[in-house]
Every structure is written in structure tokens, then in C-alpha cells.
Copies of this chain bind each other. A is one copy, B any other.
Amino acid sequence: MEIQFLGTSAGQPSKSRNVSCTALKLLDELNEVWLFDVGEATQHQILKTNIRPRKVTRIFISHTHGDHIFGLPGFLSSRSFQGDGGPLTIYGPAGIEQFVQTSLRVSKTRVSYPIKYVVLKEDGLIFENDIFAVYTARLDHRVPSFGFRVVEKPRPGELLMDKVAEYNVPNGPLLGQLKAGKIITLSDGQKLDGRDFLGEERPGRIVTIIYDTRPTKNIGELADNADVLVHESTFDGGEEKMAHRYFHSTCLDAARVARDHNVGELYLTHISARYTGRAGRQLEHDARKIFKHTHLANDLDNFEITLRG
């Protein structure tokens, strides 16, 4: 599980930061990549990474402001052109389907795969499979805006090979069943219960993504115990009034959420173009006074998401 920042700018692209997109790479877990927001030129950023568009199966859109969605038509078209792409689901507030469908219709683009739209309205579970669950909750922005909490379910413990070695278990399907916690019967009739051969269940990881919002209670609920929190940081700590007026957060708001909700690592994104170079690093510096494990995200930064030791 890795996270890669494809766009970390607020509102408009700058020379060093593109508009919003964050990729959650679940290659080991699902052989899939999920995108969170798709600002203009997301497909251009992807060209600079090892992400293959056909691996992108789910797209989560926080809100419909242009810097978070204008890359959708181009990305979807190129994913189609490159072929081999299976179905894709877009989760987002009302309006996304109309924007995408109008763009594809006017441009006479026939995509080669089905697109499913899930309209976000209420807080709660929006996706679940054997390995992951995704929750959303309404934030506080000028237009409906949603945060996301990706929860990896507890993973079965590893097969204890020392213990297995005491029995005559042949390599192959039987070993696999044991690893899956099932009961197997050996050739001599002996029964083994997989659960006796597994180490402790490992807790899953939690990744929370909070784009455009003022500070609001739901953020904490989405971020609680997250291993990784990605949080917008449009303004610096001195600009609280400005942040409030424009329905945004400061770097200190983000750090407080991380501190108060037992977060592992905090990544600041959605950085206003006014903070370039040293000024950007100052955001990180200031936030670290509140929450030490704060990192300023830069375009194309890629981080492995590990469980906290």
C-alpha cells in the first residue's frame, strides 16, 4: 500500500504543483489504484509515474470545484484509448455524472468500459469488499464536500512455518487452505485446523483523505486512529480568518486534527500558490510544533504506508 501525490496545489496549477489528485496504490492488496480527485492534467502527471491507467478502478471526488474534477474527461478518454481497462466507479457529489457525460458526448468519446456513478449524499459506508471498507462524511466547504476514510480490514496472521513443519503437510493446495484458516485432512487421516497454525491477526491500515473544508467535527471522526491523514492546508497558521472566509483550513488546523485523533503521519496538501519554496516548508515547520509527524506533500512524492510499530 502506497500513496502518491499527483497534485498538491490549491485552485490553480503552478509551475511546481499541479491541481488536486492523490493516488492510493493498492497493488499488493487488490492490484488496483484508487484516485482521490482528478484535477486538470492528472493524466499528464500519471505519465511521470509507474501508474497504469487501466489499474485505476475507483475514483473518489471530494467536491465539484474545477481544480478537483477538470481532469476527469481526459483521464477517462485516455484510459479507454489505452485499452484493457475494466469497469470503473466514480464516487462523488451530484453533478459529476452530468459533467463527465456532457464532456464525453460533446467530444464524441465512446469509452470502452462501463462507468458507474455513485452519488454521495449521506455520511457512512460507500464501498466494501473482503479487504477494504470506505467511509465518507460531509465536510464544511462552500459547496458540498466529502472526506474519505479507507479502512483495511484486519489481516489474518501469517502461517507459522515452524509449527507446520512438525506435521507432514505437502506443499500445494493443502498448505494454502491451512493459510486461509481452514481445516484440512492429511493423507494419514489426521485433521489440522488452520487457525492453530496462524500467528496473531494483524490490524489493517487506515488512510484518511480530507480535501477542501473548514475545521469541522466530521474530520476528526474520519481521521480517528488513521495511519495516514492527508489534509488540505490552503493557508498558513496566521491566516485563520482568511481560511474561514474561503471555507478552507490552515496547516495548524490539520496538525490539531492529527494530534487530537491519534494519527500516524500527516501529509499537508492543497497548498496555495503563495507558499512556494521556503514558504511551503514553513507550513510544515509550523505544523510540526503541534504534530511532529507532519510532512509537506510535493507533486510525485510517493510513500509506503506501514502500520505503526
Instruction: Tell me, rounded to whole Å, the shortest Cβ–Cβ distance linking A175 to chain B.
Output: 45
Q: How large is the interface on A (under 10, 10 to 19, 20 to 34, 35 or more residues)?
A: 35 or more
Q: Does A103 lie at the interface of the complex (its beta carbon under 8 Å from any beta carbon of B)?
A: yes
Q: How far is the CA of A107 from the CA of B39 in the complex (A)?
A: 12
- Given A99-B103, A102-B98, A103-B103: A13 in contact with B66 (beta carbons within 8 A): no
List the number of copies, as a whole number: 2
Residues A71 and B106 in contact, CB atoms below 8 Å apart: no
Residues A73 and B81 in contact, CB atoms below 8 Å apart: no
Residue in chain B with minimal CB distance to A65: B107
Residue from B43, B47, B98, B142 within 8 A of A40 (CB atoms): B43
Residues of chain B within 8 A of A81, CB atoms compared: 11-12
Residues B78 and A12 in contact, CB atoms below 8 Å apart: yes
Q: Does A308 lie at the interface of the complex (its beta carbon under 8 Å from any beta carbon of B)?
A: no
Q: Does A277 lie at the interface of the complex (its beta carbon under 8 Å from any beta carbon of B)?
A: no
Interface residues of A (CB under 8 A from B): 11-15, 18, 40-41, 43-44, 47-48, 64-66, 69-71, 73-74, 77-78, 81, 95-96, 98-99, 102-104, 106-109, 142-143
Task: Report 10 cross-chain contacts, Cβ distance below 8 Å, ordered by A residue.
Answer: A12-B81, A40-B40, A40-B74, A65-B108, A66-B103, A70-B74, A70-B107, A96-B106, A99-B103, A108-B142
